[in-house]
Amino acid sequence: MAGDAKKPFQVFQKFPDSRVPGHGKYGSAIKPPAKASSNPSAAIKFQETLADARSNAGPNMGLDAGGEPARPPAWLSSLLSRRLIFVMGKGGVGKTTLSIALAGAARRQGRNPLLVELGDAESIGRLYRKLPLPPEPVPLAHGICGVRVDARAELEAYIRTHIPSKFIAGKISNSRLFDYLFEAAPGLKEIMSLGRLWRWEQEIQYLSDPPFDLIIVDAPATGHALSLLRLPEALIRMIRVGPVARQLQGLKRLLRDPERTALAIVTLAEELPVRETLAACQEAQADLEMPVGAVFINAVHMEMFSPREKDHIQALAAMYAGHPDAPENDIIRCVRRFARRQAVQQAHIREICNTAKTPVLLMPFYYTNDMTLEHLEALSSEMGHFFSVIREKET
């Protein structure tokens, strides 16, 4: 039986009534797929899994009383009502996954999202196109566009805009000094990237028919992202007058406007990501004065066994305590490992719930090593129902 330890159990996802997981009513029964396969039927099976979970949960899961698609939950509508969302978190916690899922959910609400990668990031482009995204928006899926901000190209465009002579502008852009300054000047790449985001937001505001109306930024890791967001205020202290100062003031107003901008912070229920997340929430709200729309705790192992099933497992353990070679002990050890892992996760989840002053949501663990577009499409279509809200924002 030890060889079957990786086989996923049937997971009973819980939608708790209180702020701490472990209390509340059982929701849908989700049996996640096993390891992702190149077989085309894998995506179909994944979709069937979610469809089964919805049907098992009853008529209220995703449907209203009249059988029509249910309205999205308040936390999702509130988050997607903005024009600019920065998805940030420690590296490897699932920022790109959430960015794509949010874009899909936004499209289902009638929005036209633009997925943005910064710097050398290529995850979104590789996933959709097998190629890095270009520096101009391109269609990725129905109603969803993508782009990668090229800070050097933005700086070259800025020079061409402010230097009338194309010859002189070209000489500057192609000079060694330009290369050196671009690589060495602190904050130059970051402010060019932010400037591009600001101009796109201005297009949403002032164009009669903009190609997109929501910008979702797959931001760098937390430390770099916070440095990026601190930059406008730091530059305003140095540049107080002139056109650059006015642009910086406009960028600062955008970042601090809770009607237009929000942060979505992703974390894992582990010690280091949780510490980093709580510090980021504190800095965003107190120092940067930026609204945190939600905290997403990714890869959460939801409640698997009912109290009665736990009693049966304890009885089984007592029954085979004197038989160390019995194969049933492999099952017992597996269950106990899962219980310990879940207990550790719940302690970290409790800490976030008691500290973060923002909606906190659980993203269930999916038993696959390779999240494909089909998986993300299924996730985004059901995220309003399968993400557990465990702490609503205080009013």
Please list the rounded mean pLDDT of every run of 10 residues in the chain (395 residues). 35 31 30 37 37 38 48 86 96 92 92 92 86 91 92 80 77 76 76 92 91 96 92 85 83 94 96 95 92 92 82 85 83 87 92 90 82 82 69 53
Q: Give residue 19's pLDDT.
A: 31
According to DSSP, residue 69 is labeled: B
Q: Give residue 58's pLDDT.
A: 36
**What H or E segment, with its residue span, contains residue 138?**
strand 138-141
Q: Which residue has the tokens 């899994």?
A: 49
**CA–CA distance, 217 with 201 (Å, rounded to integer):** 12
pTM surpassing 0.75? Answer: yes
Q: Give residue 129's pLDDT.
A: 82
Under 8 Å CB-to-CB from 108, ≥6 apart: which residues? 72, 380, 381
- Which residues are 300's β-sheet partners? 364
Q: Give residue 57's pLDDT.
A: 37
Q: Give residue 317's pLDDT.
A: 85
Neighbouring C-beta atoms of residue 102, cutoff 10 Å: 25
Q: Give residue 178's pLDDT.
A: 73
Domain 82-390 in this protein, CATH class: alpha beta
Are 346 and 305 contacting, i.e. CB atoms less than 8 angstroms apart? no
Q: Report H helices in the chain.
A: 41-57, 74-80, 95-108, 123-129, 151-162, 166-173, 176-184, 188-206, 222-238, 243-256, 271-282, 307-319, 328-355, 373-386
Per-residue tokens: 94:
């699932």
**CA–CA distance, 169 with 377 (Å, rounded to integer):** 44
Phi and psi, residue 94, nearest 5°: 115, 30
Q: Give residue 69's pLDDT.
A: 52
The helix/strand/coil state of 71 is coil
